[in-house]
Every structure is written in structure tokens, then in C-alpha cells.
């Protein structure tokens, strides 16, 4: 059974390892998030925005040419068709409504690739909330179009100039700013990471993905459960959403795909379950890439969204218990898979999502198996990377 | 007797605790800086264990952490440097750092090492009270290490009392809703918070830290508590010092006196 205990632990992973200065913020959330998000009023607004603003339900598409090539029945969960181009917006819609109900006036967020930053800036514009997004200075350079998208949407983008100036540093900076602004500000974390209750809360908002998969598969196949669900894992929010309603369905294989970068043991990788040890980052105890001295190691992936040195505690638990199967895909193989999907199905995936497709090459299954791949985002933001790579 | 307990038994006002990051500005500065702090007349030494992701720290201490790590500082190295410190340093010594390096070192082994070299207490900002009580307290106690919790202006009275009941050293009052960093002056709002906590009649002594930088802020903070802690401002002194020992002594005496 995958469940979270009252202190926010999935098995030995999770918890809230935060400075006391954040305790009141976290406590306020912990006490209020379930009553609020379970309320009828919240659900009506959330469902309405998911439907009419985000464009849900997203299709579950039978990819026939891909199925033929990989000899299984492969469905794509089309999160790439969400407003703003990725699953990230499911979470930001949920959290912005929550923030409003908590009486917050300002929103802060971290972003790596800029997808979560854009999804946050978007809902802040929608709700008329003040929005500041922290982004590593290096990532701001790498992901210029998303920086400008956020600015067009009215958000302030602040460079994180500490450490390695990427996602983990942007997260550090957002946490620091939350310490500095404890009363009127809500921090919208972008994945199933951070102190309890964030990992579970974000997973709940993303769980609409597997809720829809169940209904859509039932309609198309007469059964709710596929044989396998595949999703990429950076922090793990799209995977948590795609797995959520299958955690306790043992017949469904849950495949989590990490970024191996230039090779798991190349020193340029983000394959946390292969390289990580138990550690504490951003408020939760989880698997973490770190040196022998407990300093956090800078990861590498060609996809900025998978470029994170930890994974959400629920995924560490899936790994630890064997409930999840973890696969690592290298940069080059992800790019090839991205082009393959473009050619076979006419869909250019985000490079994060391309990792999930490449995993098909490493898995064994039966021709009669039904496989759902969570297509977490579209490739528009990655055009420059595709062009630079050039092999198409 | 634990040196922290001893200090508070002897002295109950104008206590000055000085924080610096081990391995900053140079790797081997740790012990010379400690000796200078003691010679200058401060009361407690807080040795910062550098970490790659110090989420409660502002730019000054972030930078000192980064420099120290690039210099090659680690817990192993630090314990080597501190191995003979009790031949030369008599003040209470507290290690302050984030939890992850401690967990990697091994909590039990870390505490054992602390006791061996003569460390008296710990400040681990990201170790929450609940986890401390269930997983760490018993080990800390066995090695006679005093654990210090932080409180902030947002900490509820109930929570402050809970923290007080689980503390036997001192309480670290973070002066404002803020990460570390030197500030110019203390606001009326901050003074009201100091006064509110002062009137609570806690069993533990209170030291005020974050944003304390000079004689004026030290004296003001100390008038509402048992003393204060200086970090970022001291790091800035180290950063620009030509003669380190002289600069440390001049700065600290300037804070205490006048
Ligand atoms: C399209 C897409 N997929 C996946 C991710 C990785 O995040 P997570 O693991 O939280 O789903 C990102 C992050 O930016 C993304 O943009």
C-alpha cells in the first residue's frame, strides 16, 4: 500500500525538514489544505477551470504507428495539449485557488525549464495575483523564450545567482523569500517535492491525470487498468499524477523514467535512484545525489525539467519498496525518441516526455499489453535544443 | 559540566555569540579565528559547517559557505582541525549547520566526534522539533550536546512554550521574519516582539540573532534578552580583513564596548 502518514512520510521518505521560520507557513497549509480542497466550493471552481481554461479532459490517444513499431497497444495521455503546453498547469490552478482561499496576496514560485514558471504566471494573471518567479541565472540564459512568456504574463522573473544557478538554487531562493515574506505570500512549488504537505498536495492536483486515464480506458478498452503506465520523473509530478490512482493496483506496472544525461556514471547525469543516497533537500527526506560529505551534487540532463538532484519522496518510496520500476534514459536516446514520435505520430514531445518514450526500448512486455505513456508536455519550448542537436 | 550551562550560570546579560563559517576565508583559518574571538572577549563561538544549499541564509553566508566548500572544507576536515582545540579554546563551542552533511557523516558518529573534540552544542536549522524528539534527542543527550531551536516573530506562543520545554541550553530568537543578513537598525515591530517574548518568563535564556551587526544593535537586542548573535556582519569583517586577528579583535571589542 502506498500511503502517506500523518507526519507526511511515505515509508521513510518525506516529512517537513524546514527551518522554524517556515513552520507557521507549513503548519497553516498542513491544517487547511485538505478541508479546503475537499470542499464543494473548491472542487466546483477547480473542475471548472480544468475543463474550460486548461482544456481537460486531455485525450487518451491510441498511437497506432507507435504501437505497431513497439508491438503493444500504446496509448498517449495528451498532457501536451493542456493550456501552456504541459501538465504543470493542473497543479498551479489548484494551488492558486487554495492561495486565494487562504487569503494570500502574493505568489512566489521556482522554475527550471520555465514551464512551471509560465504555468504559475498564467494562473496569477488569471486571478490578478502578484507573481514573482525565481529562476537560476544559467537557466534564464538557456530558456529565454519562457522568461519572456512569464514577463508578458506580468510576472517578475528574478535570477537566482547562488550555487550552480539552476533549478535547485531557484528553489533555495524561493524558500528564502518565503521565509522573508511569511504572512501574505503563498509559495507554489512545481513538483511533488518540498516539505509536507507539498508532495501529497501537488500529487492530488495532478491525480486528475490517472483519474481520466481510468475513465477513458474503460470506455475504449472496457477496463480501467492498463498493464503499464510510463512517465518521466524530474521531481515527479507528472508521474505521480499518472500513477496516483494505480498505486494500489498491483497488476499495473508503474514505470518511472529518469534522465541519465551523458550516462548514469558519466558524472553528468540526473539518475537519482541509481546515484542517490538518503538525504535531505528542500524540506524532505528523499533520495538525493550528493557527495560523500553530504553536499548536493549538480545534476545534468539535456532536458532542464529533469535536471534536479533529488526525486519526490513518494517516488523514493516506490523505488525502495519495488512498487515502481525505474529506468534511466540518456540524452541522445531521448532525442532520438523525440524525433521518432514526431515522425510516427505527428507529435513533437517535450524532451522531458521524450525520455518516457525511449524507455520502451528497455522494457519487456507482451504484445497484448496495454501501455499508457504520459506525454507530459509539448516540444515547442525545446525547439532550440532539437535544432542544436540537429540529427533529424 | 557543559560549557553552555556553565556560561549561563555565570553570566546572564550582554552575552555575545559570534558565528563564522569554517574554512572561510581560507581553509586553515578555523582555529586562529576561534582563538581571536576568545581573545576579543566574546562568550560563545558558533562554527558554521558549510553546506551547498543553505536555505536559511542570505547572500553573505551563502557566499562564505561556497568559498569554504571550494577551499575543501568538510566535516571530516573540520573535526581534524578541532581535534586539539580544547588546548587553546575555553569558550563554549557550537556547531551550526544543515542536517544533510550530518546525516551523511552518521548522526551517532557525528555526536561522538563532537564530544571527543569538545563541542558543547548544535544548531541545525532544518532539524524540526518533531524529528529531533523522535530520532535525535536521545543521541544528542548521550553525548551531552545541547540542541538549540530557533523561534521567529511568527512562532506562536504555544509553540514557543513547547520549544522552551524541550530546550536545555538557550533559545535562538531570529530577530525578524528573515534569512540571515546584516541590517542597519532594529524596528519598533522587532522590539515589540523581543519584549513579548521577554515577558513570557521562559525557563531558557534567549539570544537574539539575524541582523545584529554593531554595538548599537547588539546593546539594544541584549537589553531585551541575555545577549545576541552576530554572523553576517562578522563574515564581512573577515572578508575585508588584512590582519585577521587584529580585525577580529577590534570588531568584537567595538561591539561589546563603548
Ligand atoms: C513537459 C515536462 N515534463 C516533465 C517535467 C518534469 O517535472 P515532473 O517530474 O514534476 O513532472 C517538466 C518540468 O519542467 C516538464 O516541463
**Residue-range domains of chain A with CATH:** 9-49+88-202 (3.40.50.1100), 55-86+206-389 (3.40.50.1100)
For residue B218, being part of any structural domain is answered with yes
Cell of B252: 568584537
Q: How far apart are CA A259 and CA A326, in angstroms?
A: 11
**Mean local confidence (pLDDT), A14-42:** 97
**For residue B182, is pLDDT > 80?**
no
Q: Tell me the best of A116, A207, A234 to mutate to test the pocket of ligand 1, counting ligand atoms within 8 Å of each CB and taking the most.
A: A234
**For residue B25, is pLDDT > 90?**
yes
pLDDT in tens, B198-238: 999 999 999 999 999 999 999 999 999 999 999 999 999 99
Identify which of A17, A20, A180 has the shortest CB distance to residue B179: A180
C-beta of residue B23 within 8 angstroms of C-beta of residue B29: yes
pLDDT in tens, A186-209: 999 999 999 999 999 999 999 999
pLDDT in tens, A268-279: 999 999 999 999
Chain A residues touching B125 at Cβ < 8 A: 19-20
For residue B5, being part of any structural domain is answered with no
Q: Tell me the best of A192, A204, A229, A232 to mutate to test the pocket of ligand 1, counting ligand atoms within 8 Å of each CB and taking the most.
A: A232
CB contact under 8 A, A281 and B53: yes
pLDDT in tens, A213-227: 999 999 999 999 999
Cell of B69: 566548500
C-beta of residue B129 within 8 angstroms of C-beta of residue B163: yes
CA-nearest residue of chain A to B156?
A24
Chain A residues at the B interface, defined by Cβ less than 8 Å, are: 7, 15-21, 23-25, 162-163, 168-169, 172, 175-176, 179-183, 277-283, 288, 290, 292-296
CA-nearest residue of chain B to A294?
B101
List A125's β-bridge partners, or say none.
Answer: none
Q: How far apart are CA B28 and CA B49, in angstroms?
A: 14
Order of strands, edge to edge, in the sheet holding A284-288? A9-10, A13-14, A284-288, A277-281
Q: Ligand 1: does its nearest atom lie under 6 Å from the Cβ of A289?
A: no
Chain B residues touching A168 at Cβ < 8 A: 53
Give the Å distance between the CA of A69 and the centre of ligand 1.
26
For residue B122, being part of any structural domain is answered with yes
Identify which of A15, A162, A296 has the shortest CB distance to residue B131: A15
Identify which of B52, B55, B58 has the shortest CB distance to residue A175: B55
**For residue B257, is pLDDT > 90?**
no
How would you label B121-131 residue by residue, b for 16+ Cβ within 10 Å and e otherwise?
Answer: bbbbbbbbbeb
Q: Find, among A124, A118, A117, A132, the residue nearest to A100 by Cα.
A: A124
Chain A residues touching B151 at Cβ < 8 A: 20
List A327's β-bridge partners, or say none.
Answer: A257
CA-nearest residue of chain A to B125?
A19
Q: Find, among A84, A115, A123, A147, the residue nearest to A351 by Cα.
A: A115
Q: Is A312 exposed, middle or buried (0-12, 13-18, 19+ CB in 10 A)?
A: buried
Give the Å distance between the CA of A123 and the centre of ligand 1.
18
For residue B8, being part of any structural domain is answered with no
**For residue A142, is pLDDT > 90?**
no
Largest CA distance in chain B: 47
Give the Å distance between the CA of B149 and the centre of ligand 1.
36
Q: What is the SS3 assignment for A155?
A: coil
**For residue A10, is pLDDT > 80?**
yes
Please tell me if residue B100 touches chain A, with a CB cutoff of 8 Å. Answer: yes
CB atoms within 10 A of CB B149: 25
Q: What is the pLDDT of residue B258?
A: 61
Q: Which one of the listed residues B29, B38, B43, B46 is annotated catalytic?
A: B46
Give the Å distance between the CA of A355 and the centre of ligand 1.
11
List the domain range (segments joined by +) for residue B161. Answer: 14-256
**Mean local confidence (pLDDT), B252-256:** 97
Q: What is the pLDDT of residue A162?
A: 84
Q: Find, among A18, A191, A282, the residue nearest to B53 by Cα.
A: A282
Q: Find, among B94, B98, B131, B27, the residue nearest to A296 by Cα.
A: B98
Identify which of A20, A279, A290 has the shortest CB distance to residue B150: A20
CA angle A268, A274, A280 (to 5 degrees): 90
Q: Ligand 1: does its nearest atom lie under 6 Å from the Cβ of A330?
A: no
Q: Which atom of ligand 1 is nearest to the CA of A237?
A: 10
C-beta of residue A95 within 8 angstroms of C-beta of residue A72: no
Q: What is the pLDDT of residue A22?
A: 95
Identify which of A17, A163, A179 has the shortest CB distance to residue B179: A179
Q: How far apart are CA B202 and CA A164, in angstroms?
A: 42
Q: Ligand 1: does its nearest atom lie under 6 Å from the Cβ of A57?
A: no
Chain A residues touching B59 at Cβ < 8 A: 162
Q: Ligand 1: does its nearest atom lie under 6 Å from the Cβ of A232?
A: yes
Please tell me if residue B62 touches chain A, with a CB cutoff of 8 Å. Answer: yes
CB contact under 8 A, B104 and A279: yes
For residue B107, being part of any structural domain is answered with yes
For residue B156, being part of any structural domain is answered with yes
**Mean local confidence (pLDDT), A255-263:** 98
Distance set, CA A117 to CA A85, A157, A168, A376, B27 (Å): 12, 9, 14, 16, 39
Q: Map grid coordinates 517535450 to a residue.
A: A350
Active site residue B46: yes
pLDDT in tens, A56-107: 999 999 999 999 999 999 999 999 999 999 999 999 999 999 999 999 999 9
CB contact under 8 A, B152 and A15: no
For residue B121, being part of any structural domain is answered with yes
**Closest residue to atom 13 of ligand 1, CA basis:** A305
Q: Ligand 1: does its nearest atom lie under 6 Å from the Cβ of A305?
A: yes
pLDDT in tens, B101-146: 999 999 999 999 999 999 999 999 999 999 999 999 999 999 999 9
Q: Ligand 1: does its nearest atom lie under 6 Å from the Cβ of A310?
A: no
CATH number at residue B118: 3.20.20.70
Pair type for strands B150-151 and B171-174: parallel
Q: Ligand 1: does its nearest atom lie under 6 Å from the Cβ of A111?
A: no
**Closest residue to atom 1 of ligand 1, CA basis:** A377
Cis ω on the peptide bond leading into residue B181 (within 30° of 0)? Answer: no
Number of domains in chain B: 1
For residue B47, being part of any structural domain is answered with yes
Q: Please name the residues in contact with A330: beta carbons below 8 A apart, sequence gap of 6 or more.
A: A260, A261, A262, A263
Distance set, CA A7 to CA A49, A270, B132, B143 (Å): 31, 28, 13, 27
Phi, psi of A25 (to 5 degrees): -60, -50
Amino acid at each position: 500500500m502506498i500511503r502517506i502518514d500523518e507526519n507526511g512520510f511515505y515509508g521513510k521518505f518525506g516529512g517537513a525538514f524546514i527551518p522554524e521560520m517556515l513552520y507557521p507557513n507549513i503548519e497553516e497549509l498542513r491544517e487547511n489544505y485538505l478541508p479546503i480542497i475537499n470542499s464543494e466550493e473548491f472542487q466546483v471552481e477547480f473542475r471548472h477551470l480544468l475543463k474550460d481554461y486548461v482544456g481537460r479532459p486531455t485525450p487518451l490517444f491510441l498511437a497506432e504507428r507507435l504501437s505497431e513499431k513497439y508491438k503493444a497497444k500504446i496509448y498517449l495521455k495528451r498532457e501536451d495539449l493542456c493550456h501552456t503546453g504541459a501538465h504543470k498547469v493542473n497543479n498551479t490552478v489548484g494551488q492558486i485557488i487554495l492561495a486565494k482561499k487562504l487569503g494570500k496576496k502574493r505568489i512566489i514560485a521556482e522554475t527550471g525549464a520555465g514551464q512551471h514558471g509560465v504555468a504559475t504566471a498564467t494562473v496569477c494573471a488569471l486571478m490578478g495575483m502578484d507573481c514573482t518567479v525565481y529562476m537560476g541565472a544559467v537557466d534564464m540564459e538557456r530558456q529565454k523564450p519562457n522568461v519572456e512568456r512569464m514577463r508578458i504574463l506580468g510576472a517578475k522573473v528574478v535570477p537566482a545567482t547562488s550555487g550552480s544557478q539552476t533549478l535547485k538554487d531557484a528553489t533555495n531562493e524561493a524558500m528564502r523569500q518565503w521565509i522573508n515574506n511569511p504572512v501574505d505570500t503563498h509559495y507554489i512549488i512545481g513538483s511533488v517535492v518540498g516539505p509536507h504537505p507539498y508532495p501529497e498536495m501537488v500529487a492530488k492536483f495532478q491525480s486528475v491525470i490517472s483519474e481520466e486515464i481510468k475513465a477513458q480506458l474503460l470506455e475504449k478498452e472496457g477496463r480501467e487498468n492498463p498493464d503499464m503506465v510510463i512517465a518521466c520523473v524530474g521531481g515527479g509530478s507528472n508521474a505521480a499524477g499518472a500513477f496516483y490512482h494505480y498505486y494500489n493496483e498491483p497488476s499495473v506496472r508503474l514505470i518511472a523514467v529518469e534522465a541519465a544525461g551523458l550516462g548514469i556514471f558519466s558524472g553528468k547525469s540526473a539518475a537519482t535512484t541509481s546515484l542517490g543516497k538518503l538525504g535531505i533537500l528542500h524540506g524532505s527526506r528523499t533520495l538525493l545525489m550528493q557527495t560523500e560529505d553530504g553536499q548536493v551534487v549538480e545534476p545534468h540532463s539535456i532536458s532542464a525539467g529533469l535536471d534536479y538532484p533529488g526525486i519526490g519522496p513518494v517516488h523514493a518510496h516506490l523505488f525502495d519498496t519495488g512498487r515502481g520500476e525505474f529506468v534511466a534514459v540518456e540524452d541522445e536516446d531521448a532525442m532520438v525518441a523525440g524525433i521518432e514520435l514526431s515522425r510516427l505520430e505527428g507529435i513533437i514531445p517535450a524532451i522531458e516526455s521524450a525520455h518516457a518514450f525511449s524507455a520502451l526500448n528497455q522494457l519487456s512486455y507482451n504484445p497484448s499489453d496495454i501501455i499508457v505513456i504520459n506525454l507530459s508536455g509539448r516540444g515547442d519550448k525545446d525547439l532550440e535544443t532539437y535544432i542544436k542537436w540537429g540529427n533529424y | 559540566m557543559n560549557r553552555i550551562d556553565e556560561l549561563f550560570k555565570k553570566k546572564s546579560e550582554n552575552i555575545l555569540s559570534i558565528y563564522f563559517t569554517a574554512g572561510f576565508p581560507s581553509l586553515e583559518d578555523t582555529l586562529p579565528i576561534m582563538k581571536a574571538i576568545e581573545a576579543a572577549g566574546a562568550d560563545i563561538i558558533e562554527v558554521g559547517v558549510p553546506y551547498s544549499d543553505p536555505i536559511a541564509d542570505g547572500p553573505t553566508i551563502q557566499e562564505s559557505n561556497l568559498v569554504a566548500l571550494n577551499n575543501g572544507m568538510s566535516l571530516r576536515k573540520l573535526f581534524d582541525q578541532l581535534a586539539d582545540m580544547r588546548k587553546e579554546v575555553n569558550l563554549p563551542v557550537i556547531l551550526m549547520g544543515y542536517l544533510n552533511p550530518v546525516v551523511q557523516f552518521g548522526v551517532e558518529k557525528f555526536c561522538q566526534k563532537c564530544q571527543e573534540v569538545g563541542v558543547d552544542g548544535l544548531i541545525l536549522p532544518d532539524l524540526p522539533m518533531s524529528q529531533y524528539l523522535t530520532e535525535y534527542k536521545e543521541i544528542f543527550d548521550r553525548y551531552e550536546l545541547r540542541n538549540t531551536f530557533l523561534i521567529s516573530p511568527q512562532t506562536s506562543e504555544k509553540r514557543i512554550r513547547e520549544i522552551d520545554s524541550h530546550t536545555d541550553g538557550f533559545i535562538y530568537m531570529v530577530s525578524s521574519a528573515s534569512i540571515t543578513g546584516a541590517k542597519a537598525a532594529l524596528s519598533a515591530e522587532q522590539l515589540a516582539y523581543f519584549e513579548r517574548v521577554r515577558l513570557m518568563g521562559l525557563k531558557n535564556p534567549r539570544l537574539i540573532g539575524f541582523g545584529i551587526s554593531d554595538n548599537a544593535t547588539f546593546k539594544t537586542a541584549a537589553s531585551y534578552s541575555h545577549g545576541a548573535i552576530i554572523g553576517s556582519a562578522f563574515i564581512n569583517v573577515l572578508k575585508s580583513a588584512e590582519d585577521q586577528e587584529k580585525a577580529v579583535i577590534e570588531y568584537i571589542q567595538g561591539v561589546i564596548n563603548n
